[in-house]
Amino acid sequence: MALAGSIVVILLFVISLLAPWISPYDPGEINLQMVLASPSGKHLLGTDQLGRDVLSRMIWGSRISLKVGFVATGIAIVIGTILGAVSGYYGRWVDAAIMRFVDIMLCFPAFFLILAVIAFLEPSIWNIMIVIGITGWMGITRLVRADFISLRERDFVQAARVIGASDPRIIFLHILPNAMASVLVAATLGVAGAILTESALSFLGIGVQPPTPSWGNILTAGKDNIDIAWWLSLYPGLAILITVLGYNLLGEGIRDSLDPRLKG
């Protein structure tokens, strides 16, 4: 599973990095003589309602997906790791306060919370990345907290306390490196979730705004022309499916390889 997921992830990276060279057309180039042209030798994946090449827009849209996935997940990882580490290390009232805050955040459906925040902000890629990041840290907090609770009484932590190491040093230099396996798996799966959320927001028209290409707003054009332009829905939908599946497979493979309880 990890190998299959790795191939998809690496391929997506290569496509996004080489977008200026492998894209057959300018993704914003309008050609009103080729409006909604079906797939052909000239336009392998057809054109959209403005005559723009769908393949070129999907290639450039992969950059948007990667950017959103990694930045949003990075924000969630930082917030979740810090709160989980503090909660698991100190325990008592600190743990209780942070966990009750996590419970409150989990009471709100994440996607509707994102919609509510975006409604008050100007739709832009940076706002989307930040909002997805600050609404996706709760699960990571719980994972890191559980690891810290199991690690904070280990011999190497007690030895660090005996030699006078400060709490921040113990947390970030001694315990956290031993809890990074869970964080790595959560990050891999989080990228898939962030890409899916961005695509959904763009599909609803409150995500990445045209003319910037993204898989979600290509799907929007497909919805508006579903009867006569099937390719506008099929190809970006497959791209989202394969990308999210690839990251999920990679995350599951990493989890299986790092968790000794799953070996045998």
Distance (Å, whole) CA 193 – CA 217: 17
**Domains (range + CATH), the chain:** 2-8+52-259 (1.10.3720.10)
What integer best gives the mean pLDDT of the chain? 86
**How far is Cα 81 from Cα 206, in angstroms, rounded to an integer?**
29
Question: pLDDT tier at 228 (50, 70, 90 boundaries)?
Answer: confident
Whole-prediction pTM: 0.87
Are 28 and 53 spatial neighbours (Cβ–Cβ below 8 Å)?
no
Lowest-pLDDT range, 1-15, 26-40, 109-123, 141-155? 109-123
The answer for residues whose C-beta is within 8 angstroms of residue 221's C-beta and 6 or more apart is 48, 49, 229, 232
Which residue matches tokens 């090449």? Answer: 53
- Distant-in-sequence, close-in-space partners of 187: CB < 8 Å, separation ≥ 6: 73, 77
* Distance in angstroms (rounded) separating the CA atoms of residues 77 and 46: 39
